[in-house]
Amino acid sequence: MSISENISIIRRQIAEAAAAAGRDPADIQLCAATKMNDAEAVRQAVAAGIDCCGENRVQELTAKLSENAYQGAPVHFIGHLQTNKVKQVVGKVDLIQSVDSLRLLRAIDAEAARQGIRQDILLEVNISKEETKGGFPAEDILPLTESFSDFSNLRLRGLMAIPPISQNSGDNRKFFQEMYNLSVDITDKTSDNVSVNILSMGMSADFADAIACGSTMVRIGTAIFGRRDYTKKHST
Ligand SMILES: *Cc1c(COP(=O)(O)O)cnc(C)c1O
């Protein structure tokens, strides 16, 4: 199956999940998770009408930007970002979805100030409370949102989460529901640099559940590009 056929199928599944939840499918963006896929595959996904690309690794982002791989679609950063690499990401992407610590938040704010720009970000929430995973504890989100004017070079657009890989349909619903409740709590906290309308959650295995719980952006890799081959050495 081609990338564009896969995307048509996913669009149909998004529409079905939205209809089942009484939602408008236009309110759900499809972000193609492009890690380990080359510029040509990314171009095919963009041509097939995905809403944005999400890249995980700084090296891959830099390489694909230089190849104009994302041309025609916004590009987001969705992987763990080390503070010493913020220069390579801030101002180069439309949205940094994976801001997972206060230290990183401050580093991105400082780099945006240096560049004289305002960077859009999402706060990553460690909703499943996994020790090995980054992200803010859920209870930190509301206070952080209320004091977000401290980060005058950033604009907070919403929340993202990466719950555990689900084995069975329905596994992650409780996490998705908690994320939705959290996003509702902060949606009315609008200020000069807080404008929350993105809830990024749901991947290949569980995006229908995420949509049922209120996701506005699903990040899909495998179902678009096929399984990633981790044995292959990638050129980037
Ligand atoms: C890889 C990745 C995805 C997509 O995962 P699939 O299961 O391949 O759809 C989504 N979000 C993030 C942060 C990822 O790293």
Contact present, 92 and 55 (Cβ < 8 Å) = no
Place 230 in a pLDDT band, splitting at 50, 70 and 90: confident
Statement: residue 80 has pLDDT above 60: yes
Place 236 in a pLDDT band, splitting at 50, 70 and 90: very low
To 10 degrees, the CA torsion angle through 58, 136, 158, 177?
120
pTM value is 0.96
Ligand 1 centroid to 221 CA: how many Å?
A: 5
Ligand 1 centroid to 33 CA: how many Å?
A: 6
Best residue among 78, 165, 201, 227 to mutate for probing ligand 1's pocket (most ligand atoms within 8 Å of CB) is: 78
Q: Using a 6 Å CB cutoff, which residues line ligand 1? A: 33, 35, 56, 78-79, 162, 203-205, 219-223
Nearest to 98 by CA among 223, 2, 217, 232: 217
